[in-house]
Chains A and B, each alone.
Chain A
Amino acid sequence: AQTVTQSQPEMSVQEAETVTLSCTYDTSENNYYLFWYKQPPSRQMILVIRQEAYKQQNATENRFSVNFQKAAKSFSLKISDSQLGDTAMYFCAFTRRNSGNTPLVFGKGTRLSVIA
């Protein structure tokens, strides 16, 4: 079974600064996807960034980037130039990559507060 661990229950960062959220996972699979989701107070689950395990290049979406270390089973999220609107819960998630679609396994989340 796959597990996802987010070791930082809460973090804070000053506006315009950079913050990194940690995520590790455990799997025996070789092909999989990793995700970061943002959940603001509205409760909407917003896909922030997605990484395919077979791609060596780290995914980037504007101010959001990941550091994917496959051998270490680590998938951290870096938020640059933090904005007040980045305040939210952030969830790391894993799913196997196969011919059919499979569900996401989530970490417990990290609550990020961006401080003005």
Chain B
Amino acid sequence: DAGVIQSPRHEVTEMGQEVTLRCKLISGHNSLFWYRQTMMRGLELLIYFNNNVPIDDSGMPEDRFSAKMPNASFSTLKIQPSEPRDSAVYFCASSSSGLKGYFGPGTRLTVL
């Protein structure tokens, strides 16, 4: 089992640029969660999907953030346009009934 896969692992971009983060779920899992980790706010939920359907996106900070799940195993988180305050580590996690909270390695985003 390859675990949750995230790409890229590191991203450095300039303010105003579009950023796309990618996540592949563990095979057989049906839920996907996007979290963001910063020093100030700790780990916070951005959005999550069950069976490809977005359930709660109240954690998405602004309209600049969007997330999609085009199929059962893959998701993207897009920031457009990016700002320096978006700099953080972004984690994707997947789960299935009875199995909770398997995290990907994270994407460290730096917006200059």
**Which residues on A are within 8 Å of B, measured CB to CB?**
33, 35, 37, 42-47, 50, 91, 93, 95, 99-104, 106-109
Contact = CB atoms under 8 A, between A and B. Distances in A.
A47 B101 contact: yes
A101 B89 contact: no
B106 A101 contact: no
B95 A109 contact: no
B12 interface: no
Interface of B: 30-31, 33, 35, 37, 42-43, 45, 48, 50, 55-56, 89, 91, 93, 95-97, 100-103, 105-106, 108
Contacts, number: 58
Contacts of A42: 105
11 contacts: A33-B100, A35-B101, A37-B103, A47-B101, A100-B55, A101-B50, A103-B35, A103-B48, A104-B35, A104-B101, A106-B43
Given A45-B103, A101-B30, A101-B97, 14 more contacts: A37-B101, A43-B106, A44-B103, A44-B106, A46-B103, A47-B102, A101-B48, A103-B35, A104-B43, A104-B45, A104-B100, A106-B42, A106-B43, A108-B42
A-side binding surface: helix, strand, loop or mixed? loop
A33 B103 CA distance: 16
Contact of A100 (B50, B89, B100, B108): B50
Nearest to B37: A43
A32 B30 CA distance: 19
Contact of A43 (B56, B89, B93, B102): B89
